[in-house]
Amino acid sequence: MTTYRLDAGAQTLALAVTTGLPEVVYWGARLPDTENLDAIASASLNDLTGGMIDALPALSLTPEAGRAFQGQPGLVLSDVNGTPLLPAFQIDHVDAASNHLCFISRADGLTQTHNIRASESGILTLQTEITSDTPIRIQWLAAPALPAPQRSDEMIDVSGKWIREFALNHVAWTPGIRMRESRTGRSGHEHPPYLILPESGCTNTQGTAYALHYGWSGGHRMVAEELPDGRRQVQFGHASGAETEPGTHFQTAPLYAVFSTTGLNGIGTAFQRHMREDVVQWVEPAKPRPVHYNCWEAVYFNHTLAGLTALADKAADLGAERFVLDDGWFGHRDNDLTSLGDWTIDPNKWPGGLHPLITHVHKLGMSFGLWFEPEMVNPDSDLFRAHPDWMLGPRDQTPGRHQMVLNLALPDVQDTLFNQISAILTEYPIDYIKWDHNRLLPLVDAAQTRGVYALLKRLRAAHPGVELESCASGGGRIDAGILAYTHRVWLSDSNDALERLRIQHDAALFLPVAITGSHVGPRKSHTSGRILSMSFRAHVAAQRHMGFEMDLNELTEDEATTLKSVTAWWKDNRHWTMTADILRLDAADPAVTAEMLLAADGSRFILTAGQSETSIQILPRPLRLTGLDPAARYKITLKNPEDAARQSRGPNALKTAPLTLSGQYLMTQGISLPAQWPATIFIVEGTRL
Ligand code: DGJ
């Protein structure tokens, strides 16, 4: 037997190899450097008892159906005729470096490779690859399977829908399989590829937890299984059947794994840093993230030069730095029935092209962004009329938002889209694309996703100065796969700040401040009809990458003053907030959603406490902070005491002056805030003295 270990941040993964596939013998808190791995491997050996065969089938990196494994195998394959193959792999050799292990195994003309890398941000990246001497069909290929913790009562996975993204599900472990599968050709609103396995007693701020994220945008399957013998395993891979053609080489997407000893916040901060520092390829890393203005909820398809230049004037005056022209500028796009696929400027709306608008936007000091939805085509478009055979899926399929999907696996489709988009980016000084994807695919096909990635890669190489935003009816495609080519996500089409407060808070378990787009929406929300104050809307947007998205003509003088001042405050702080950790607090009051943005060097923080409904008790419960130095002293200031409830009439200290308190006090007793109305948010600024 040979043993190996990889250390990443707070975690160690230890593996043992005898003759078959490698098996994880330990995954958890970082072990001492002197740990004897052979002893760990011996200690991990299980007993046998009744109702079992005479040796425990290995829960290897790819559990094998041909070795009497009782659970879900990690590989289901057949020959080209559909005859199932049951290879029993033998280890061939191992390439081991301090931050990388590569296990190569062989069976019957097949080679299986398991790659595991440790990154400095504390993440393990795991990937499985299969090559074959002759073509085979793959029904299911899992990234390396990992053991799930025994001392865990529940798993937390993520679901959602349009305008209600990133809803956390707490699901009890029971014998058998919990399977989530996204078969919509996107990572999806419905089953985003994230899973947290908290150990018993874990909260936001304390305890231990494991988490996984499958970095693939094309639809995936997750299997969390408790075997009859009590062992637990987790597998992630492309949705089953996503590889539609026989082949000799198949590969999973990277599976990202993290273990935390600091509660769910250890998971959140590891993923936030990883996405921000390792996954996203920033265009100009040192450049401040600009405040956006997006015109969608102001004008929809109704584009006029006069209307949009007037909006640009107002946006710039309020502090916007990037103007994004959304859907409606191309073909004859007066509604969503037509023109996707015809990426040329609509001469009726834009007789002088986009130049007059872009020149005006630039004169105001803003950069310019443009909306595209390249993967889609309306049957009512010149492209579709010329190439009906470029459509993905059956001819008689049901459209979605009146549109079909282009088959991105076809080189002609990729070339046409590249040329169309490239022509616009060459003619106009555009530094940003909002890349949308508004329908569910008619079928699951990994080649489609590879085609999208290839197109994005080619465009990024040809136009390296252009940033991209991933949007799919809001947050329908948010994963590390797409973020390798994009720089921001449109988290949700809900600009209702009350909904956003929750969505942003839960998405922070995976997404950092800098890539999470959040816009100040209209006074009366277009997706909920709620009417919310400007202070609340602006401060909720200011929790992440801020922007505005509304008809700015509706603003009262008071609203404009508040928006301007919150925007200026956001800009004053962005030099440190964009790299801050988002730490979720364990609010004792379920009506309060509280979190901190803690500077990378710990020198300052912003605490936000959003009240989503009335509290059960009369007085606010103190909010315990986290992540501070117990011995340090912090000056804390309530930024917006004017947002206290009208009935607030007691001597709450923060209403009138800053306080100086130790980290120990703040993390043990916590901060007492004034009484708050629903749909308000308090902002507390903290500085270490
Ligand atoms: C859906 C997006 O989520 C919206 O923000 C907007 O861009 C529309 N598509 C445009 O059609």
What ligand 1 atom has the least distance to the C-alpha of 326?
7
Mutation to probe ligand 1, out of 186, 295, 296 (largest number of atoms < 8 A from CB)? 296
Beta-carbon contacts of residue 679 (< 8 Å; ≥ 6 apart)? 497, 498, 530, 532, 533, 536, 611, 612
Ligand 1 centroid to Cα of residue 535, in Å, is 25
Q: Does the CB atom of residue 473 touch ligand 1 within 6 A? A: yes
Q: In the Cβ-directed half-sphere of 426, how many Cα atoms lie within 13 Å?
A: 9
How far apart CA 142 and CA 145 sit, in angstroms, is 7
- pLDDT at position 121: 85
Ligand 1 centroid to Cα of residue 442, in Å, is 20
Q: Does the CB atom of residue 479 touch ligand 1 within 6 A? A: no
Ligand 1 centroid to Cα of residue 473, in Å, is 6
Beta-carbon contacts of residue 313 (< 8 Å; ≥ 6 apart)? 364
What ligand 1 atom has the least distance to the C-alpha of 472?
3
Q: Does the CB atom of residue 493 touch ligand 1 within 6 A? A: yes
Q: What are phi and psi of 644, to 5 degrees?
A: -65, 155
What ligand 1 atom has the least distance to the C-alpha of 336?
11
Residue located nearest, by CA, to atom 11 of ligand 1: 327
- Please, what are the averages of pLDDT over each run of 10 residues along the chain (689 residues)? 95 97 98 97 95 95 94 97 96 96 97 96 96 98 98 97 98 98 95 97 98 98 97 98 97 98 97 97 97 98 98 98 98 98 98 98 98 98 98 96 98 98 98 97 97 98 98 98 98 98 98 98 98 98 98 98 98 98 98 98 98 97 98 98 96 97 98 97 98
Contact 479, 239 (CB under 8 A): no
* Both structure tokens of 349: 């709306």
- pLDDT at position 265: 98
What ligand 1 atom has the least distance to the C-alpha of 471?
3
The alpha carbon of residue 307 and the mean position of all alpha carbons in its chain are separated, in whole angstroms, by 34
Nearest to 280 by CA among 49, 460, 503, 58: 460
Ligand 1 centroid to Cα of residue 278, in Å, is 28
Strand runs (DSSP E) across 2-143, as ranges?
2-8, 11-17, 23-29, 75-79, 84-85, 90-97, 100-107, 110-118, 124-141
Ligand 1 centroid to Cα of residue 189, in Å, is 15
Residue located nearest, by CA, to atom 1 of ligand 1: 473
Q: What is the pTM of this model?
A: 0.97
How far apart CA 522 and CA 497 sit, in angstroms, is 10
How far apart CA 437 and CA 471 sit, in angstroms, is 6
Mutation to probe ligand 1, out of 471, 491, 549 (largest number of atoms < 8 A from CB)? 471
- pLDDT at position 7: 97
Contact 390, 378 (CB under 8 A): no
Residues with catalytic function: 436, 493
**Residue for token pair 């990246």:** 125
Give all domains of the chain, ordered by start, each with its CATH number. 2-46+55-279 (2.70.98.60), 292-575 (3.20.20.70), 585-688 (2.60.40.1180)
Residue located nearest, by CA, to atom 2 of ligand 1: 473
Q: For residue 295, what are the CA distances in angstroms to 142, 336, 369, 526, 554? A: 42, 16, 11, 13, 13
Chain length of the chain: 689
Q: What's the CA angle centered on 295, arms 291 and 298, to 5 degrees?
A: 125
Ligand 1 centroid to Cα of residue 559, in Å, is 25
Contact 513, 577 (CB under 8 A): yes
Contact 73, 65 (CB under 8 A): yes
Q: Does the CB atom of residue 474 touch ligand 1 within 6 A? A: yes
Mutation to probe ligand 1, out of 327, 401, 500, 518 (largest number of atoms < 8 A from CB)? 327
Ligand 1 centroid to Cα of residue 566, in Å, is 25
Q: What are phi and psi of 285, to 5 degrees?
A: -55, -35
Q: Does the CB atom of residue 371 touch ligand 1 within 6 A? A: yes
The alpha carbon of residue 639 and the mean position of all alpha carbons in its chain are separated, in whole angstroms, by 30
